[in-house]
């Protein structure tokens, strides 16, 4: 039996692919431990999935000279000692990192203890921890082709099994009924993620009557903190969030969405066309995440600052009136997606452990 330490967390973008790979590894008899922080989303999701969470301090990389930068070397040394202790005391055979605060000490500890490790990068524009980790391993899996990391191999996004194996067409009627929608009418999904996206929310609500006039209905996941009021129109279903994303994705025919790596990967894998409105803050990775499926014809991209009701009328409403174009976009999105990313990443990790680097999909 192989014992793995999977490191990452902080956000769902790191935790969900980690758990998908953990499930793939344990399905064949391996054992998985998870390295994360007590503050990140992993503190809740990892134990819920039945895995043991080993904790290291939350350790942001300093980006400017300040007090945090002065404390960083000592904090990193402590995190490194803690992680090396986990590797030796728990008899870890291999490490897989997914970025986030726990990944950097995991990569450094694995290198010090001569434990083979692999890296998975979710975004088209990689983060600092994974740029560091990729320098010292031949096992680097990426979600998007062209991701600028050494030794990058295209494996796709490791998806949850309930998403990877989803038959949207077979579940459509059930999903729409469960969500309070008309099974016979097409559905526009609007979502900005778990916290919502106010520009998407405002524009969607302002455009509600125009969408409903086309014969489509709207499923709007507005986030728990939104200040936008439900328009309370027949055929417009607004929810703060949805626990059953398998139902949401089965119900939808077209999405208006942020372009997080997990979102782009899930929609593409399921052949769900989209109008992506990338989050305008951060290092700009969302725009790059969507570039491949946009180039393939499976999605359109609108900059956040331009996503107004006027742009919605110019870009989205014509799609709703052209089902043949939506069908072509769906086929293109599906051709750009990857459903077996968890299996591919698990195979890549095992190839690093065995020293066999012939396994993989070159990006």
Q: The dihedral of CA 207, 322, 164, 340: what is its sign?
A: negative
Q: Summarize pLDDT for 105-122 with one digit per residue, the tens.
A: 999 999 999 999 999 999
What does the pLDDT read at residue 360? Answer: 39
In CATH, 3-161+339-354 is 3.40.50.2000: yes
Paired tokens of 240: 């703060």
Backbone angles phi, psi at 269, to 5 degrees: -60, -35
Listed in order, the ranges of the chain carrying CATH 3.40.50.2000 are 3-161+339-354, 166-336
May I ask the CATH class of domain 166-336?
A: alpha beta
For the chain, which ranges sit under pLDDT 70?
59-75, 194-196, 282-283, 356-363
Cα 152 to Cα 67, 148, 282: the distances in Å are 35, 8, 23
> Left, alpha or beta for 161 (phi > 0: left; psi -120 to 50: alpha)?
alpha
* Paired sense of beta strands 94-97 and 117-121, if any: parallel
Which residues of 113-248 form beta strands (DSSP E)? 117-121, 140-142, 152-154, 187-191, 217-221, 236-239
Q: Give the total residue count for the chain.
A: 363
Contact indicator for 55, 36 with CB cutoff of 8 Å? yes
Angle at 77 between CA 142 and CA 106, to 5 degrees: 25
Paired tokens of 165: 């194996």
What does the pLDDT read at residue 280? Answer: 80
51: Cβ–Cβ under 8 A, 6 or more apart, which residues?
A: 19, 22, 32, 33, 34
Q: How far apart are CA 17 and CA 97, in angstroms?
A: 10
> Residue 282 CB: number of other CB atoms within 10 A?
10
Q: How far apart are the first and last CA of the chain?
A: 31
Q: How far apart are CA 347 and CA 120, in angstroms?
A: 12
Helix (H, G, I), strand (E, B) or coil at 356: coil
Q: If you write DSSP's letter for every residue of 285-338 in order, what string do you get? A: HHHHHHHHHHHHTSEEE--GGG-SHHHHHHHHHHHHT-HHHHHHHHHHHHHH--
Q: Which helix (H) or strand (E) holds 21?
A: helix 12-27
Q: Summarize pLDDT for 60-98 with one digit per residue, the tens.
A: 666 666 665 556 555 678 889 999 999 999 999 999 999
Pseudo-torsion of CA 268, 206, 200, 288, nearest 10°? 60
59: Cβ–Cβ under 8 A, 6 or more apart, which residues?
A: 72, 75, 76, 79, 101, 104, 105
Contact indicator for 10, 41 with CB cutoff of 8 Å? yes
Radius of gyration of the chain from its Cα atoms, rounded to whole angstroms? 21
Average pLDDT over the chain, rounded to whole? 92
* Paired sense of beta strands 152-154 and 140-142, if any: parallel
Q: Is the pTM of this model over 0.85?
A: yes
Question: What is the edge-to-edge ordering of all strands in the sheet holding 187-191?
Answer: 236-239, 217-221, 187-191, 254-257, 274-276, 299-301
What does the pLDDT read at residue 73? Answer: 59
Which residues of 84-145 form beta strands (DSSP E)? 94-97, 117-121, 140-142
Nearest to 126 by CA among 143, 139, 111: 143
């Amino acid at each position: 039996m192989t014992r793995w330490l999977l490191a990452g967390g902080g956000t769902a973008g790191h935790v969900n692919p980690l758990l998908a790979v953990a499930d793939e590894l344990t399905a064949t008899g391996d054992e998985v431990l998870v390295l994360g922080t007590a503050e990140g989303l992993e503190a809740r999701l990892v134990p819920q999935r039945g895995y043991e969470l080993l904790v290291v301090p939350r350790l942001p990389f300093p980006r400017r000279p300040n007090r945090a930068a002065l404390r960083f070397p000592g904090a990193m040394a402590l995190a490194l000692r803690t992680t090396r202790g986990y590797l030796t005391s728990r008899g870890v055979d291999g490490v897989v990192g997914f970025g986030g605060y726990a990944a950097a000490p995991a990569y450094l500890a694995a290198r010090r203890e001569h434990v083979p490790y692999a890296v998975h990068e979710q975004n088209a524009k990689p983060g600092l921890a994974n740029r560091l980790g990729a320098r010292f391993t031949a096992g680097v899996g990426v979600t998007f082709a062209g991701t600028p990391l050494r030794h990058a191999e295209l494996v796709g996004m490791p998806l949850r099994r309930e998403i990877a194996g989803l038959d949207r067409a077979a579940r459509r009627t059930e999903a729409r009924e469960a969500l309070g929608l008309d099974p016979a009418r097409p559905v526009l999904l609007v979502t900005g993620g778990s916290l919502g996206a106010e520009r998407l929310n405002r524009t969607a609500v302002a455009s509600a009557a125009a969408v409903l006039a086309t014969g489509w209905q709207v499923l709007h996941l507005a986030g728990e903190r939104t200040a936008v009021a439900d328009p309370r129109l027949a055929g417009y279903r607004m929810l703060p969030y949805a626990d059953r994303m398998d139902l949401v994705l089965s119900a939808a025919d077209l999405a208006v969405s942020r372009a997080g790596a997990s979102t782009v990967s899930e929609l593409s894998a399921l052949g769900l066309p989209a109008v992506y409105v990338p989050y305008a803050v951060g290092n700009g990775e969302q725009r790059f995440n969507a570039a491949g499926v946009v180039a393939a014809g499976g999605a359109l991209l609108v900059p956040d600052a331009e996503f107004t009701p006027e742009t919605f009328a110019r870009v989205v409403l014509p799609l709703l009136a052209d089902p043949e174009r939506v069908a072509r976009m769906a086929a293109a999105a599906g051709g750009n997606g990857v459903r077996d990313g968890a299996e591919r990443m698990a195979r890549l990790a095992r190839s690093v452990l065995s020293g066999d680097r012939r396994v993989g999909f070159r990006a």
